[in-house]
Structures are given as C-alpha cells and as structure tokens.
Amino acid sequence: MAKYSFQKIVEITRKEIKAFKKVEQKPWGIETIMIELSKQIGDLAKHVMMLEKYYLKERENKPEYKTTKEDIADELADIFFCLVRLADSYKIDLEKALLDARREGLKARGIKPDF
C-alpha cells in the first residue's frame, strides 16, 4: 500500500469534494456538512456496536447490520471527508489544528510535546 503524507490525503479528499459538489442537488452549507458528519458518526457507532456484539443477537442475520472492520474503516474515511469539508469551509488548516490540539493536550497532562 502506498504511503501518503497528510497533506496529500487532504488534497485527494478535496478532489473528491469537488467531484461531489458537481453532482449534489444543491450547495452544502455548514449545517448540511454537520448533518452529514453526524450521520456518518451514527453509521460508525452502529458498526462498532455490531462488531463488539452490543446489539441483539438476531441483528447479526439482518443485511442492514452486516459489519466488518472494512465497514468501520469506510465510515472513518467518510468522517475525515466531512472534517476536511468543514475545515475548508472555515479556512482552517486541519493539519495545524490537529498538531496544535495534540500539543496542548500533552502539555495539559504534563508531557512535553516533541513535535
């Protein structure tokens, strides 16, 4: 599997966002991005709950509850798609925001960040 930088992955995601914008019925605003992000988090939760066997046993035989680790990976990728779209809407450098947040989180726990 090819290794890509974070910025390359964001660039690839932006190409997909651009393609989606061409076929969406109407432009997405912040509210729509947030609704989609919430929906994707819900889908992720369903897959995790199924894989970890928190739901009723009979759901295992229903196609709409079929779950694999690949399904979880797909939902995580869809969430990232929404995060990039949201960050771009606010002109936020997502890479910087992630690093700044991790730095502050480590400092708050008394750990000196090494990045």
What pLDDT, in 10s, does the model give residues 15-26? Answer: 999 999 999 999
pLDDT of residue 93: 98
Residue whose structure tokens are 């502050």: 104
The identity of residue 13, as a single letter, is T
Q: What percent of the chain has pLDDT above 70? A: 100
Confidence of residue 97 (pLDDT cuts 50, 70, 90): very high
6: in domain: no
Residues 32-72: tens digit of each pLDDT = 999 999 999 999 999 999 999 999 999 999 999 999 999 99
7: in domain: no
Structural domain that includes position 91: 30-108
pLDDT of residue 1: 75
pLDDT of residue 2: 79
Long-range interactions of 35-44: CB distance < 8 A, separation 24+: 36/82, 37/79, 37/82, 37/83, 37/86, 40/75, 40/78, 40/79, 40/82, 41/79, 43/75, 43/78, 44/72, 44/75, 44/76, 44/79
5: in domain: no
21: in domain: no
86: in domain: yes
Q: What percent of the chain has pLDDT above 90? A: 98
Question: In the predicted model, what is the mean pLDDT of the chain?
Answer: 97
* CA–CA dist 110, 90 (Å, integer): 31
97-112: average pLDDT? 98
25: in domain: no
17: in domain: no
79: in domain: yes
Q: How many domains, in total, are found in the chain? A: 1
CATH code at position 45? 1.10.287.1080
